[in-house]
Amino acid sequence: MQLILAGLCWACDLPKPSGKVVLTLNGKIGVCNLDHEVQLDLSMVRELPVSEVSTTTPWERGRVTYQGVLLRDLLQYVKASGTMLEISALNDFHTELSVKDVQEFKVLLAYRRESVDLTVRDKGPFFVVFPFSDERKLETEERYSQSIWQVSHISVR
């Protein structure tokens, strides 16, 4: 099924989640699986290409390896066409991140740290991780504030 709405094409042919929805994407996306958005359960996210970022952060001691999906791969999956992302957490905190930065840097939407699933009590279900150790120019307060955890929603604008 395909819908045309406000100049955007919504191909509603992605699989629907069978488990608890843990991530929702909407906005300027070219596909959907429910009501003009993409709802994903954890198993659906884990079916996307897995990447790792090993880095230091202000919140951990020493270098830590995170596993998850690169934001650029997630945006490709939903056929995103926008230039900005508004990323929201379970506690309604939100931040903005440019799609250009997501394409330039290896920005990870992590769901594991050191091969252990992230829990809501410990920055899960998803944590935006920048490769701070590989790209020292990312070690800024602005980037740290974009490293949002407990991510539950991404709106592409």
- pLDDT tens string 88-145: 999 999 999 999 999 999 999 999 999 999 999 999 999 999 999 888 899 889 999 9
- How far is Cα 41 from Cα 18, in angstroms, rounded to an integer? 7
pLDDT per residue as tens digits for the range 31-81: 999 989 999 999 999 999 999 999 999 999 999 999 999 999 999 999 999
- How far is Cα 55 from Cα 48, in angstroms, rounded to an integer? 22
Going from the N-terminus, what domains does the chain have, and what CATH number goes with each? 48-156 (3.90.420.10)
Residues 6+ apart with CB under 8 A from 104: none
Q: What is the pLDDT of residue 125?
A: 97
pLDDT, averaged across the chain: 92
For residue 20, pLDDT over 70 is answered with yes
Give yes or no for a contact between 110 and 118, defined as CB atoms under 8 angstroms apart.
yes
pTM of this structure: 0.91
- How far is Cα 86 from Cα 92, in angstroms, rounded to an integer? 11
Backbone angles phi, psi at 79, to 5 degrees: 55, 50
CA dihedral 104, 113, 47, 83 (to 10 degrees): -30
Q: What is the pLDDT of residue 8?
A: 53
Q: What is the pLDDT of residue 3?
A: 46
User: Maximum distance among all alpha carbons in the chain?
Assistant: 49
For residue 7, pLDDT over 60 is answered with no
